[in-house]
Amino acid sequence: MNIIKPMKTIASISTVCAMLAFASVSNANITDDNAGTNSHKHHQKSKHMMKKMAKYLSLSEQQKTEIKAIRTQAKEQGEPLRTEIKQFKEAKKLLLQAETFDDEAFVALHASYQQIFAQESLAKAKTKNAIFNVLTSEQQEKWLSKMEKRKAKMKRKNKSEKTEELVNSNVAS
């Protein structure tokens, strides 16, 4: 009977648990200075995007108010999930910085957060749906058209980047 494999699995899971505990403690010690800067930048970008959306779709004041309320509620409800995601990222960071990469520990860590990832994805989808339903049918069509154009642009950009990488790798050879 091979006892080494189960011992490796137990050791990997124990390592992940220890990392999660460490990540929780280290998160408690982070100063608000750095977090405040990042959150301020995100807030400014979000505010700018909202203004662009309002102008592009010619949103009424009532629509702006409704969308702002939806986003505020989503932010409040998503706070516990964001805390969990931060813990995942810290634990992942520790695994990535280890001297040797432990596949099993990474898979176990990722699997342990699947429910959190699903909840976060669901919350985002509900928020997008609620905002979309604030729009009139004309605004919805305009928005969908804009998103299709944006998607096509990103596809072209990614394709050109891949072509450039291929050319560069051929030149280097």
Please report which helix (H) or strand (E) contains residue 23, including its range: helix 4-29
What's the whole-model pTM score? 0.62
| 114 and 37 both lie in a single domain | yes
Domain count, the chain: 2
Residue-level pLDDT at 21:
46
- CA-CA distance, 26 to 36, in Å (whole number)? 17
| 142 and 165 both lie in a single domain | yes
| 81 and 152 both lie in a single domain | no
| 28 and 73 both lie in a single domain | yes
Residue-level pLDDT at 163:
78
Spell out the alpha helix ranges (H) of 30-136.
Answer: 32-57, 61-96, 103-112, 114-132
Residue type at position 135: L
Banded pLDDT at 172 (limits 50, 70, 90): low
| 129 and 149 both lie in a single domain | no
| 122 and 146 both lie in a single domain | no
Asked if pLDDT for residue 28 goes beyond 70, the answer is no
Asked if pLDDT for residue 16 goes beyond 80, the answer is no
Overall average pLDDT of the 4-20 stretch:
51
Residue-level pLDDT at 162:
77
| 22 and 98 both lie in a single domain | yes
| 41 and 121 both lie in a single domain | yes
Range name among 29-38, 138-147, 164-173 with the lowest pLDDT average: 29-38
**C-alpha distances in Å from residue 52, one per residue of 49, 55, 97, 122:** 5, 5, 40, 25
User: In the predicted model, what is the mean pLDDT of the chain?
Assistant: 80
| 109 and 159 both lie in a single domain | no
Rg (CA), the chain: 22
Residue-level pLDDT at 108:
93
Among candidates 144, 127, 134, 118, which has minimal Cα distance to 74? Answer: 127
**C-alpha distances in Å from residue 18, one per residue of 5, 12, 73, 156:** 20, 10, 34, 44
**Containing structural domain, residue 146:** 137-173
| 81 and 143 both lie in a single domain | no
Residue-level pLDDT at 37:
56
| 130 and 141 both lie in a single domain | no
Asked if pLDDT for residue 30 goes beyond 80, the answer is no
